[in-house]
Every structure is written in C-alpha cells, then in structure tokens.
Structure 1
Amino acid sequence: MLDAHRAFETPEGIRLRLEVAGPLPRALAWLVDLAIRAVFYLLAAFLLDQLGKFGHGLLLLLIFFSEWLYPTVFEATRGATPGKQAMNLRVTMDDGTSLTWGASFARNLLRAVDFLPFMYLLGLLISLTNNDFKRIGDVIARSIVVYAPQADTSPTYHNPADTTTARSLPLALTAEEQRLIMEFSDQCDFLSAARQREIANLLQPLLQQQDDAAITTLKQYAAWIKGAQA
C-alpha cells in the first residue's frame, strides 16, 4: 500500500508525522492562486489602460514579475501561497523544516519545465512516479508539499500513581546522562503516552521496568537530580 505519510524527528525528540499532498489538492490550490492573480491583473489592466502604450508595457512587466515572485515570496515567507493555504497545504524541505529562499526560487523557476507541453502535464507525470508526488521543481529543490500539521490532540500521559518523590540514582551517571533524564521529565506533558513509553523502554536494561512504571521511575530520578543540583 502507498504510504503517504512521512515522519520527521526534531532535535528535541518530538516526532512529527506529515501527510504528503497528492496532485488533486495541489491542482485545486493552483486554480485558487490563478483566480487571485487573474483578478489582480484585471484590476491592474483597468487602471494602467489609462496610460496608453506606456501602461500596457507596465502591465506586461507586472504580470511577468508577479508570475515568478507571487509563489516564491509566499512560500519562502509563509510556507504556502494563498491557494495552498486555502487547501490546508504547505511546502517544506525534505526533512520537514521550513522552505528556504533558495529552494523556493528553484522549485518555482522550474515550473516552466513542469508546465511542458501544457498545463503541467510533465510535472504531473513525474509526480506520479514517486511516493512523495514530487514534480521536477521539488526534486531539484529538495522540497515536499504536505498538509499543514494540525495541533496534536492525542492524550498525554497522566498516571494517577505518578509522584515526584525523589529517588536516588542506582549508579553514577555522567552529567549528559543526567541532563537527558531531566529533559525527558520536563517534556512528558508535550509527548503522547505511546511516545513516553517508547523512550522510557529504551532504558529497560537499566531500570528493570518498562511502560508506565519506567516513566514514573525516570521522573523520580529527575526529581532527585534536580534536588541534588539545588
């Protein structure tokens, strides 16, 4: 089965799961952006027509620069054009980080190639050959179009038996190891229950415990470390 989700882990250990956008929502976003630009060009044409040939020249320059700057600026500064925002999409780098100016310029410059021979036919064919639905511009820029991440509403772990009663460490740990235990305790309220258990179970050989019991013990170790530092 086609897996349209991509997982990224931040330096803080928080795992993000993003859903890759397919051709249809991207095409709808392009139509919305096209409609926005069309209205803008019609208004500009009406105003500049009063200037005769000079105004016509300005209109052509306006259209030329707008076609290139409109998607580039919006994607580099906001992560999405108004059309993509309307479809709940955003453009990121392959690793889930914000799109850079260089990548935004590259992916939009290559729209001219993706458009060939007409209506982005080449870009569509290329996007259907890879799991991330990347057109040529995305491949070169190392970018990806995903659905904008929603706020995580998954329940966090709150064990009624949990206590912050300090428990001394069973053996000497380095300063870095102690810092990691404290960071885990501080981040628990921002991690899902499954993620907390996954991390705590990595220390099963040391704790001789797993799942909820391991989480509680790590929090007690953290309380002892903080008390010792104080």
Structure 2
Amino acid sequence: MLNHGLENREYIKLPEGVDIAITPAGVVARSYAYIIDLIIRGLILLAISTLFSFFGDAGEGLVLIAYFLISWGYNILFEMENGQTPGKKCLKIRVVQDNGLPASFSQIVVRNLLRPADMLPIGYFLGLIVMMFNTRFKRIGDWAAGTL
C-alpha cells in the first residue's frame, strides 16, 4: 500500500500489478450518511407504527418486531446489494474490503453485528474515537470484518 503525502488517498497494488486508488471516507462524511439513513429508518418506522396503531396490543408487538428487523437488517440489506445504504449512496461512499474489492456477505454481516460496540457508551463515542485514531477511519466493525 502506497501513500502519497498529505492526501487521504491510498494506492493499493492488486495481484495483477495494477494500482487502484481508494479514498477512505472520513468521520464527517460517514456521520452525514448515518444521519440520512437514521432519518429514512425513522420515517419507515413511523409509517409502520402508524399503520399498526390500529391493531392495539398486537400492533405494538408488530411494531417492536419491525423495529428489530429494520434496526438489524437495513444496513445489511442495502450493503449486501452494492455496498451502499441510501445515505452512503448520497455521499458516494461504498463499503469495500481492505484491498478495494467488493465486500462479501459475511463481512457485511460482521461489520453490522459489531455496530452496538461502536455505540458504547453512548452516541457512537467509542466508534468515533477508534475512527479518529487510524488513517483509514475504520470503526470496530470494519477492523473485525476487514472492510473499509
């Protein structure tokens, strides 16, 4: 991996002998993408909870199930297709392997299962600290999954 001075771009040499340039997304861009995705998830949950509010206690249970599925499945579902959630797509960010290749399904699942660890103790504090102290802005889930 070559680094050319102060720019944030990294050049990775593939086995074929070709260099590719990767620019890791920083804390600000990733935060904006997260906020966009948070708003989308919130609007989806609002629509579902409004719809199920007519079903009484059963509706509350269905809303909780929907909350669980959306909280855990939203990122996995979108990143599985092309490495981008709608928020990442707006900011032209993509999840890839450390070597620049598309992330596999297992890598996407691992990075998203470790998302709660990044949220400790509150508000993505640990994830932000880890991201700020490495040049590739990787959070805990990215380190475990080998993604960027």
Give me the TM-score of the superposition, normalised by structure 1.
Answer: 0.60
- Could you give the per-residue CA deviations for residues 192-212 of structure 1, whole angstroms, max 9, x where no partner exists? xxxxxxxxxxxxxxxxxxxxx
Q: 2:141 matched to 1:137?
A: yes
More contact order relative to length (CA 8 Å, sep ≥ 6): 2
Equivalent position of 1:60 in the other structure:
64
Distance 1:57 1:120 in 2: 28
Equivalent position of 1:37 in the other structure:
41
Superposition map of 1:190-229 within 5 A: none
Q: Which amino acid aligns with 1:74?
A: F
Structural RMSD (CA): 1.3
Q: Which amino acid aligns with 1:32?
A: I
Equivalent position of 1:222 in the other structure:
none
Give the match's secondary structure for 1:93. Answer: coil
Shift of 1:119: 1.0
Shift of 1:97: 0.5
Equivalent position of 1:113 in the other structure:
117
Give the match's secondary structure for 1:92. Answer: coil
Q: Which amino acid aligns with 1:58?
A: L
Give structure 1 regions of 4+ aligned residues with deviation exceeding 2 angstroms.
8-15
Shift of 1:3: 4.5
- Could you give the per-residue CA deviations for residues 164-205 of structure 1, whole angstroms, max 9, x where no partner exists? xxxxxxxxxxxxxxxxxxxxxxxxxxxxxxxxxxxxxxxxxx
Q: 2:20 matched to 1:16?
A: yes
Equivalent position of 1:86 in the other structure:
90
Shift of 1:12: 4.5
Distance 2:6 2:72 in 1: 33
Kindly indicate whether the alpha-carbon contact (under 8 Å) linking 1:20 and 1:132 is maintained by their aligned counterparts in 2: yes
Distance 1:41 1:68 in 2: 13
Give the match's secondary structure for 1:134. Answer: coil
Distance 1:97 1:76 in 2: 13
Q: 1:76 aligns with which of 75, 80, 85?
A: 80
Give the match's secondary structure for 2:94. Answer: strand
- Could you give the per-residue CA deviations for residues 52-85 of structure 1, whole angstroms, max 9, x where no partner exists? 1101101101111111111012112111100000
Q: State how many pairs are aligned.
A: 144
Gaps of 5+ in 2: none
Q: Which amino acid aligns with 1:34?
A: L
Q: 1:49 aligns with which of 50, 53, 57?
A: 53
Q: Which amino acid aligns with 1:82?
A: P
Q: Which amino acid aligns with 1:136?
A: I
Distance 2:99 2:54 in 1: 49
Equivalent position of 1:126 in the other structure:
130
Shift of 1:15: 2.3
Equivalent position of 1:163 in the other structure:
none
Kindly indicate whether the alpha-carbon contact (under 8 Å) linking 1:23 and 1:133 is maintained by their aligned counterparts in 2: yes
Give the match's secondary structure for 1:106. Answer: helix
